[in-house]
Amino acid sequence: MTAQAGNDAFLRFTNVKKTYDHKTLVVKDFNLNVAKGEFITLLGPSGSGKTTCLMMLAGFEDVTSGEILINGRNVTSIAPYDRNIGMVFQQYALFPHMTIRENLAYPLKIRKLPKDEIRAKVEDYLALVELQAFGGRYPGQLSGGQRQRVALARALIFAPDIVLMDEPLGALDKKLREQMQFEIKRLHEQLGFTVIYVTHDQTEALTMSDRIAVFNNGVVQQCAAPHVLYERPANLFVADFIGESNKLAGVIESVADDSVQVRLDDGGLVRTLKANCTEVGQPTTVSVRPEKLNFTDRLGGSGNQVKARFVTRHYVGEYIRYHFETASGSELVVKNLNDSSAPHLNAHDEVALAWLPEDSQALDRSEVPPHN
């Protein structure tokens, strides 16, 4: 699958493949065009190929076949130190025996910049990450969030062509992780650098990215803007991996211009958008997000409806998760705001759940790749 960023692509992966044993491809055919200044996230489960692609771009892994170009320059066989790439790792990779100022100065010294210019840049980047008062301290004297800000500043200070980030927030707790997400986005918007970001955290990817490439088994399943991936997943793997999806099995009964009618396994008939399943008689899975499902009184009886038996509910703070089961055994989840509209249900109560046709898609059951 090729992800386009227009004709002015700054970074290009072209037909890139990777194997370690000359038998099994861990990256099967990776094509990606990235515009200058874009924030692209490579997202997927462990072993899906995303980190291998990052390491090939950095030069730490050889490319089995294909090409990588940065600003028109083929870097496929160029040494890592000649690629002008900055890197931010999960474990910071700061020099423990150097002060924060010395850590920031290091990449400038090896590039032989004048001392006055180095001093000025170090102070500028300390201010940029709001650590002016910490320049004389050592990494061990800083918190995890502060060390990650230093690591980010050090990756940016020499003006790299691209900044690579490999699970950079994985070692932080939830609150710090969320703070650093906004910090990285602030710096990205302020400085306009190009980012290739690797994570397995779906929320992190949705929050930070211009586009997301979803990997599984060495193949990009879909590459698109966050809202497109979430609202219009290309297949069941993407629907499952990005957020949460309710799934109703059925068979396509009729086809219109942009929608299909599906006869569900429990006998109900629903209308849903076309996706990758468009033939009459084709087995399909209707995918609908939990927040798109409503109790029928919310939609005034319009839209699709399915009857389900209440099983249990979970209190999550700002919302409540209601769990249901249909007559055919499908499990459904409804997310309802924790307010006066939250209904009280007893075990085994039967209700009608409804959703709008444009809030669901007919996805091909046979095209679901195995989840690593």
DSSP track, 83-119: S-EEEEETT----TTS-HHHHHHHHHHTTT--HHHHH
**Percentage of the chain exceeding pLDDT 90:** 75
Share of the chain above pLDDT 70, in %: 95
Work out the average pLDDT over 5-10.
Answer: 68
Q: What is the mean pLDDT of the chain?
A: 91
H or E segment and range at residue 198 = strand 194-199
Q: Is the pLDDT of residue 6 over 50?
A: no
Mean pLDDT to the nearest integer, 307-313: 93
Residue (of 156, 365, 143, 333) closest to 252 by Cα position: 365
Question: Is 338 a residue whose pLDDT tops 90?
Answer: no
- Are 359 and 273 spatial neighbours (Cβ–Cβ below 8 Å)? no
Residue 82, pLDDT above cutoff 80: yes
pLDDT tens-place string over residues 262-306? 999 988 999 999 999 889 999 999 999 999 998 875 555 668 999
The whole-number pLDDT of residue 8 equals: 73
Model confidence pLDDT, tens digit, residues 98-113: 999 999 999 999 999 9
**Dist. CA 342–CA 216, nearest whole Å:** 37
Q: Which sequence spans correspond to the domains of the chain?
A: 2-236, 244-366
Residue type, 15: N
**What's the predicted TM-score (pTM) here?**
0.89
Helices marked H in 236-342 — which ranges? 236-241
pLDDT score for 3: 44
Third-level CATH fold of 244-366: OB fold (Dihydrolipoamide Acetyltransferase, E2P) (2.40.50)
With CA atoms as reference, report the closest residue to 287 among 244, 337, 229, 227: 244
Residue 2 reports pLDDT greater than 80 = no
Amino acid 273 reads L
Q: Which of 126-135, 273-282, 363-372 has the lowest mean pLDDT?
A: 363-372
Q: From residue 74, how far is each of 1, 32, 55, 70, 289 by CA, in Å?
A: 21, 15, 16, 7, 42
Both tokens of 140, joined, read 């061990």
Ramachandran angles phi, psi of 333, nearest 5°: -120, 135
- pLDDT tens, 177-223? 888 899 899 999 999 999 999 998 899 999 999 999 999 999 999 99
Do 325 and 332 contact (CB within 8 A), yes or no? Answer: yes
Nearest alpha carbon to residue 288 among 265, 301, 271, 313: 271
| pLDDT range class, residue 175, cuts 50, 70, 90 | confident
Determine the topology of domain 2-236 in CATH. Rossmann fold (3.40.50)
